[in-house]
Structure 1
Amino acid sequence: MQRKSFGNMQCPIARSLERVGEWWSILILRDAFYGLTRFDEFQKSLEIAPNMLTRRLNALVEEGLLERHLYCEKPPRHEYLLTQRGRDFRPVLLVLLAWGNKHFAPEGESVMLLDADTGARVEPVLYDGASGKPIGAQHVFGAGPAADQVVRLRVARQPGK
């Protein structure tokens, strides 16, 4: 069965999921932020089949989230480094981390965000860049200038609007 493509949908969430919505992709990006770069490191960390890892790495390179660099010519070996697009995914991972710790860690937190200088625990929060205020339930989705009728109807239905 052919999977539906979200790449042409006007929704930025759907378009983002087209690039990273497969769970292996998100876990590969997580491991790249932990400093893993080589195929065998990703495979060992994730316990993923080599063919699946190859497909996911190729897709992340194709989507511009990772770059492939040759580090050994014989035999040819590559490392995978985050691009700027990939590094820009970090806040998404941090919010997933906080959400997962809050809702799905009955045994307690296994990973926390810490301040590198002080070692103090950090709580990821989204802020409006213009006002500096935390983003919360008082903020709603709005149709952007490029929104089609489907998007306009979708955002008009939301509670609080």
Structure 2
Amino acid sequence: MNDGYLVETMQVDVSDYQSVKRFAHAAASHGPIEAIIHTAGLCPSVGSAQKILEVGLLGTANALDAFVDMAQPGTNMICIASMAGHMGSGLPLELERNLATAPRPQLLGHAALKIDPVDPHGPARAYGISKGGNPLRVQAPVKAWGFVGGRVNSVSPVVISTGAGRQEIESPAGNSSI
């Protein structure tokens, strides 16, 4: 009996919808997709505010939209957010609405997402917004996913012991940025 798995890799830019769509089609070409775990994100110490929003926020929207066409009864997509998205005073209602429902091409166009690239706190703010926007964005397509028998969920863990997580804790901002 062979207990192993055949693994095929593919480089994907989650901030590029067409790249994610190609990945979704490639995955579906191997048979029914049972689970998609979307973990892409950048910590404040490793990316600019703009890149953090592109990967963490737009990347989530791209994955949700690209994989819904591949979903079928029982398909489950889990998008990993962060407790950082639930800290602080919260997001303004208008921004929450934008993060949840704006069409993908306009998602990053909201004025609150125009973070000054030289602001030293910009990456941490972008991280909090992107991780707070993740659960909001996941709520928007539940009907489309449910219509085909699939489901989507968002999980908000605390710091995970990964290379990026340890790097963030050891950065000058330390625990205050996550």
- TM-score if structure 2 supplies the norm length? 0.23
Report the structure number with the largest CA radius of gyration: 1
Q: Greater helix share, 1 or 2?
A: 2
TM-score, normalised to structure 1, is 0.25
